[in-house]
Chain A
Amino acid sequence: MTYAIQRIAFSILSLFILLLTTFLLSHVMAGDPAIVAAGPNAGAAKIEALRQQMGLNDPIFIQFFIYCGSILRGDLGTSWFTQQPIAQDLLRELPPSLELVLLAMLINLAVSMPLGLITARYAHSKFDDMVRLVVMAGAGLPVFWIAILLQQIVAGNWGLLPIAGRLSFANRSFSGPTGFYLFDSLLAGNVSVFFDALAHLLLPAIALSLLFTAVGVRITRTSMINEFRKDYVTLARAKGAGEARVMFRHVFPNGATPALTVFGMQFGWMLGATVLVEEIFGRPGIGRYAIKAVTQSDIHAVVAVVLIIGVVFLVANLLVDILVYALSPRKQRAG
């Protein structure tokens, strides 16, 4: 039980620091919000009136308190360039990004886990050395560059996959209740839209996952190597278990847990990295939204993206920790 309390306290502390950071960014470092809000050509009197109205003459901690209050009510302010409540913008932009990140994460897990396990089993072999080199190369790839190259070569020159967007022109009118097209299309029983959406997702997801997969393989390998050194592996072999059984039944469940924590953190980082690929592939999403907001100097919209990605990050970590806890044998005693 103490673990749960500690974990939740940590999440609340993280949220507090996140709010403090976004507050400082949008209200302190960005210059006088009243001047920003009044727009260009505003007179001194108008600015002073706005300042009074926005509560900028209040002590800073009261401003922060008010800021937190409005955030918790779901009020993120109004966007400059979309002229809409930012919260509403984000709700629209988040599903396509999450869809992209989920697929990229799936690719990441599908590659990292088995590769990490096998390279750990055959550590210091030729195969391991080769994978290590590929991984180091992968960790040196600029995501945006590889995205451009993939788009140009695979989609442009070879015509294997669509170049940009979320759906083909023929399916342009498709929409669904959740905004996750893969899910919505299945819900509507429309398989062709499902595959269309998947085809559009593939290249951006691969580009996005490369860097993270490189790290993922390494983390999984390290974690699994630690397990292979333990005596229970010897005992499993002594029982007459074959290598496949040793790897999948014994080592994997134990080694996956520490790796899982890192993958949980990667989820938030991936969502952040969508700024590098969504624009290139012409996909709507919070990454593209953030870039637009930055180029329009829409500070509140940018900070809202920082906040929402931070929150997704915290939630993802909390979920992973709960999962790890649920998988651990120790909970049997506590429960």
Chain B
Amino acid sequence: MSTLWTYARSNIERTALIVAALVILMALFGGLLAPFDPLKIDFRSKILPPSPEHWLGTDGSGRDVLSRLLVGAQMTLASTAVVLVVVATFGCAVGIFSALVGGAVDNMLMRLADVWLGFPPLILALGFAAALGASLEAAIWALIFSWWPNYARLTRMVTVDILSRKFIASADALGVGTGAKIFRYILPNAFDVLIVQVTLDISAIMLAISGLSFIGVGAQIPLPEWGAMIADGRSYVANGWWIVLAPGLMIFLTAFSFNIIGDMLRRELDPTSRRR
């Protein structure tokens, strides 16, 4: 964490780090801080504008928007984290395997990844949701299914590069086993590149999950997932702007911050990016 702070070169990057840290804290402890029950419907207090009691107002069913945002942070961020962890692990395994085996298998796997990479993930996810039934889990599976080739390609590229370097040749000469090679040389070297990609992908995955929830194939409507909250608030946008504005701003600020951090990490960690 403190290393991240030293990477920051401008106030914008420092702000992004603070926002990201706050959002992560929100996801971890948001439920404890929520002043109201995020699901409790109370039509007597519906569409109340922001006030000292309801800081961000209430939605069309009288639920407290701030409480929903705090609880929803966990749904949106945890889903994103699950997708990224699975995708990075699986993609990484495929990539390393492909590079180590080489030849026709490598060629075929990478062709497959190329084909896969192309299809619009949102649409693939839609098909998945239709087949599995609409739920947050289905949306997560769908994104995992469509996102792994990114990491397979990336890891393969890094691995091939590492395998071509001199220290691998000397490791070979010393009879270092494949497992040791993966854990001692390939993974540590690939880590920087992967961490940059993961950070940059956070916003894309988050946007995809909330988008799927928005169109009704992810988290279902009473749930306080941020995308679903926007879908829920749509009909009140004319007289209850805060209902749509608040979750959208949260998505935007989180995605924006992680984009800035990803950009910063790339500058600091990726040797191929030019520095001055």
Whether the pair B12, A275 counts as a contact (CB closer than 8 A) is no
Assuming the A-B contacts A141-B252, A142-B227, are A152 and B238 also in contact, with contact meaning beta carbons closer than 8 angstroms in the complex?
yes
Assuming the A-B contacts A152-B237, A306-B126, are A291 and B215 also in contact, with contact meaning beta carbons closer than 8 angstroms in the complex?
yes
Whether the pair B131, A26 counts as a contact (CB closer than 8 A) is yes
Is B183 an interface residue, CB under 8 A from the partner?
A: no
Whether the pair A299, B131 counts as a contact (CB closer than 8 A) is yes
Q: Which label, helix, strand, loop or mixed, suits the secondary structure of the A interface?
A: helix
Taking CB atoms, residues of chain A closer than 8 Å to B276 are 124
Which single member of B203, B230, B260 contacts A144 (CB below 8 Å)?
A: B230
In the complex, A26 Cα to B126 Cα: how many Å? 12
Whether the pair A17, B203 counts as a contact (CB closer than 8 A) is no
Whether the pair A302, B237 counts as a contact (CB closer than 8 A) is no
Whether the pair B216, A294 counts as a contact (CB closer than 8 A) is yes
Which single member of A140, A144, A272 contacts B255 (CB below 8 Å)?
A: A140
Is A180 an interface residue, CB under 8 A from the partner?
A: no
In the complex, A313 Cα to B120 Cα: how many Å? 8
In the complex, A294 Cα to B128 Cα: how many Å? 10
Whether the pair A293, B130 counts as a contact (CB closer than 8 A) is yes
> Looking at the complex, which of B79-87, B110-118, B166-174, B189-197 is the stretch in contact with chain A?
B110-118
Whether the pair A294, B118 counts as a contact (CB closer than 8 A) is no
Whether the pair A136, B122 counts as a contact (CB closer than 8 A) is no
Taking CB atoms, residues of chain B closer than 8 Å to A71 are none
Scan residues 258-281 of chain A and give those whose CB is less than 8 A from a CB of chain B: 265, 268-269, 271-273, 275-276, 279-280
Taking CB atoms, residues of chain A closer than 8 Å to B241 are 152
Scan residues 195-232 of chain B and give those whose CB is less than 8 A from a CB of chain A: 203-204, 207, 210-211, 214-217, 227, 230-231
Taking CB atoms, residues of chain B closer than 8 Å to A265 are 118
Whether the pair B123, A272 counts as a contact (CB closer than 8 A) is yes
Assuming the A-B contacts A268-B118, A310-B119, are A295 and B216 also in contact, with contact meaning beta carbons closer than 8 angstroms in the complex?
yes
Whether the pair B126, A290 counts as a contact (CB closer than 8 A) is yes
Q: What is the count of residue pairs linking A and B with beta-carbon distances less than 8 angstroms?
A: 156
Taking CB atoms, residues of chain B closer than 8 Å to A148 are 230, 234, 237, 244, 248
Whether the pair A140, B214 counts as a contact (CB closer than 8 A) is no
Whether the pair B128, A313 counts as a contact (CB closer than 8 A) is no
Which single member of A30, A141, A305 contacts B123 (CB below 8 Å)?
A: A305
Which single member of B128, B215, B257 contacts A25 (CB below 8 Å)?
A: B128
Taking CB atoms, residues of chain B closer than 8 Å to A136 are 256, 259-260, 263
A139 → chain B, closest Cβ, in Å? 6
Is B102 an interface residue, CB under 8 A from the partner?
A: no
Assuming the A-B contacts A17-B116, A140-B259, A265-B118, are A306 and B251 also in contact, with contact meaning beta carbons closer than 8 angstroms in the complex?
no
Interface string of A136-163 (1 = CB under 8 A from B): 1101111111101100100010000000
Provide a sorted-by-A list of 8 A–B residue pairs whose CB atoms are within 8 angstroms: A17-B115, A140-B203, A142-B214, A276-B122, A280-B234, A295-B216, A302-B126, A310-B119
Give 5 A-B pairs besides A21-B127, A272-B121, A297-B130 with Cβ atoms closer than 8 angstroms: A17-B112, A21-B119, A140-B258, A294-B217, A302-B127
Listed in ascending order, the chain B residues whose CB lies under 8 Å from chain A are: 12, 111-112, 114-116, 118-124, 126-132, 134, 203-204, 207, 210-211, 214-217, 227, 230-231, 234, 237-238, 241, 244-245, 247-248, 251-260, 263, 276
Listed in ascending order, the chain A residues whose CB lies under 8 Å from chain B are: 10, 13-14, 17-18, 21-22, 25-26, 29-30, 124, 132-133, 136-137, 139-146, 148-149, 152, 156, 211, 265, 268-269, 271-273, 275-276, 279-280, 290-291, 293-295, 297-299, 302-303, 305-306, 309-310, 313-314, 317
